[in-house]
Chain A
Amino acid sequence: MTDDTIQPDDLGDDALAGEYALGLLTGDAHADASKRARTDIAFALKVNAWQNHFAAIAEAVDPVTPPRGLFRKIRRQAFEETLWGYIRQIGLIPAFVGAAAAALILYVTVQFDVFNTGQEPTPTMIAEMVAEDDTLVVAAAFTSDGRLFVDRRIGASAPDRSLELWLIAGDAAPVSLGVLAADQTLNEIEVPAELQDSLAGATLAISDEPQGGSPTGAPTGAVLAVGQITTL
Chain B
Amino acid sequence: MTTPDDIEHMILRVGLGERDAFEALYSATSAKLFGICLRVLKDRTTAEDVLQDIYLRLWRGGAATYTAGKASPITWLATIARNRSIDKLRQIRPTRPLEDAPEVADPALGPADLAEAASERTRIFACLDELDPDKSAAVQGAYLNGDTYADLAARFDVPLNTMRTWLRRSLMRLKDCLSQ
Residues in chain B near residue A65, CB distance under 8 A: 30-31, 34
Known interface pairs A23-B148, A56-B121, A89-B18. Does A66 touch B56 (Cβ–Cβ under 8 Å)?
no
How many of B's residues come within 8 Å of A, CB to CB? 66
Contact of B124 among A24, A54, A63 (CB under 8 A): A54
Q: Are B56 and A77 in contact (CB under 8 A)?
A: yes
Q: Are B139 and A22 in contact (CB under 8 A)?
A: yes
How many of A's residues come within 8 Å of B, CB to CB? 53
Which A residues, 33 to 57, have Cβ-Cβ distances below 8 Å to chain B? 34, 37-38, 44-45, 47-49, 51-57
Q: Are A78 and B120 in contact (CB under 8 A)?
A: no
The complex places the Cα of A15 from the Cα of B164 at a distance, in Å, of 10
Residues in chain B near residue A82, CB distance under 8 A: 17, 59
Which A residues, 66 to 84, have Cβ-Cβ distances below 8 Å to chain B? 66-67, 70-71, 73-75, 77-79, 81-82, 84
Task: Name B's A-contacting residues (CB within 8 A).
Answer: 17-19, 22-23, 26, 30-32, 34-36, 38-39, 48, 51-52, 55-56, 59-60, 71, 74-76, 78-79, 81-82, 86, 97, 99-109, 120-121, 123-125, 139-140, 142-144, 146-150, 152, 164, 167-168, 171-172, 174-175, 178
In the assembled complex, 11 residue pairs joining A and B whose CB atoms fall closer than 8 Å, in A order, are A19-B164, A25-B99, A26-B150, A27-B97, A49-B108, A52-B71, A56-B123, A59-B32, A61-B39, A78-B55, A78-B56
Task: Name A's B-contacting residues (CB within 8 A).
Answer: 11, 14-15, 18-27, 30, 34, 37-38, 44-45, 47-49, 51-67, 70-71, 73-75, 77-79, 81-82, 84-85, 88-89
